[in-house]
Amino acid sequence: MAGLNSLPEELLDKILRCLRVGPVDTKAMATLSLVSRKFHRIVEPHLYHNITASCFHSDHGHTQGNIHDLTQTLSQDPYLAGLVRVLKARRDKEPQKNDVLDKIRAQPDRTIRAWSLARQYSTWEAAAVLSQSLLDVFTPLLPKLTTLDLTEYRWAQDQSCMIGFVADLPRRHPQLKQLGLRLKATHSVLALSQAFAHPTIERLSLQRGQFISFAQYWNHWGQQNSKVKHLQLGAARGSHNISHVALLQDACPALEDLTLCVSRGDHMLADVISILTAFKGALGRSTVRRVEIWSYLGDRYMAIAAFKNPHNTMSFRKVWRKWSCMTWSLKGTEGHQDDPNMGAILHLDLPDLPGNSGERFTLHRNLQVCATILRFMKTPVQFALFLRGVLEQTHVTQIREAFERKNVKFGYQCWAMFGRTTE
């Protein structure tokens, strides 16, 4: 601790900024803030930088939440509220109808069963409306908020409250840069038009989007000059339609990054290629520099990414568990050092090869996705395929043939773990 005390405050602040990016133990940071007045002054802005609020959750028939206490605390301490930059609000999912029926099925009286069922759902809807009212009261207390994540926040059934809430964001949060929304009904499409119209939002994350309703509202918001540069789409399987999703690329003239989150299944490849085809106009623009695809594999996500990198480096991401990853970089191979468009397509986190037919199908399927990205990006791109296990010559031949069928020049170099190089 004496060594930390001797460090300049500017250096300590930079260290805490780096730690804040990853999963930092809040208790450890709070303990550090109690060491001395100096540490309290330095740590406090980082300690309250990112907060998560559970609006309400259902527990044994009672509705409770911590957002009420948090609202009271922030209203009494404006200085503390001014330190918050990132807010993630969540609300647990509504009880399933079958779960409720199982609980009351033992009751012999049919009237009691019907009353109990109605009471369960009326309580839930009341909690939904009340939580939205608290959200309306809570968010204005954070004047310097830059990130608002509502991707895990379930609105009331018709989601009509979302329209007014999103429309009022420019007045409440003039510094807002990132917004995440959970879409479901037609009302949420109207809320989405307000999000695109926000003058400062550069990063927009949309979860469970049903894009079929976009076309009928295109005249309402299609001519807006959106500032969105980073767009993430996470939709249920089979909810994509090329003609409807294609409207989004026109709504994002300044698009730089596109991230797709798809579920595993027979339709995954068709969904991904459909969306990429819908965005082929945007992918061909000089502004788009990165495309990333996340595929759910049960206990982890698998990533495929392509990006134009002006710094002549390749970034590799190995995905171990759900949304957690390890990253490192390698310099470009010889002969590509001066290529300003050098980038990488990265993949794969697969079991040992050679494997069963399912694993070979996964390799073939994702090679098709990689080739589709390349065809639309229209730029020299270097590939990187990360495989667990041994890459046999038969696999190299399969990869070569997949890309040559797309008229993509293919060459390869292998790296082993811990810096050893193999050919």
pLDDT, tens digit (0-9, with 9 covering 90-100), for 238-271: 445 555 666 677 778 888 887 777 665 545 556 6
Q: What is the pLDDT of residue 52?
A: 77
| Higher per-residue pLDDT: 370 or 97 | 370
pLDDT, tens digit (0-9, with 9 covering 90-100), for 393-421: 776 776 677 667 666 666 665 555 444 33
Nearest to 84 by CA among 199, 175, 171, 206: 175
Q: What is the pLDDT of residue 83?
A: 84
Q: What is the pLDDT of residue 410?
A: 63
SS3 54: strand
Under 8 Å between Cβ of 78 and 43: no
Under 8 Å between Cβ of 33 and 39: yes
| Max avg pLDDT among 157-166, 213-222, 247-256 | 247-256
Alpha helical stretches, state H, 56-185: 67-76, 78-81, 97-104, 110-138, 161-167, 169-172
**Confidence check: pLDDT of 390 > 60:** no
Q: What is the pLDDT of residue 177?
A: 92
pLDDT, tens digit (0-9, with 9 covering 90-100), for 326-380: 232 333 333 333 333 334 343 444 433 334 344 445 555 666 666 666 666 555 4
The answer to whether the peptide bond before residue 354 is cis (omega within 30 degrees of 0) is yes
**Confidence check: pLDDT of 26 > 80:** no
SS3 195: helix
Cα 48 to chain center, whole Å? Answer: 22
Averaged pLDDT of the chain? 62
| Higher per-residue pLDDT: 409 or 325 | 409
Query: What residue spans define the domains of the chain?
Result: 295-423
Q: What is the pLDDT of residue 209?
A: 56
| Higher per-residue pLDDT: 207 or 111 | 207
> Could you count the other beta carbons within 10 Å of the beta carbon of residue 239?
16
Q: What is the pLDDT of residue 358?
A: 46
Model-wide pTM > 0.85: no
Q: What is the pLDDT of residue 397?
A: 75
pLDDT, tens digit (0-9, with 9 covering 90-100), for 34-86: 777 777 787 777 777 877 777 654 444 444 445 667 777 778 888 888 888 88
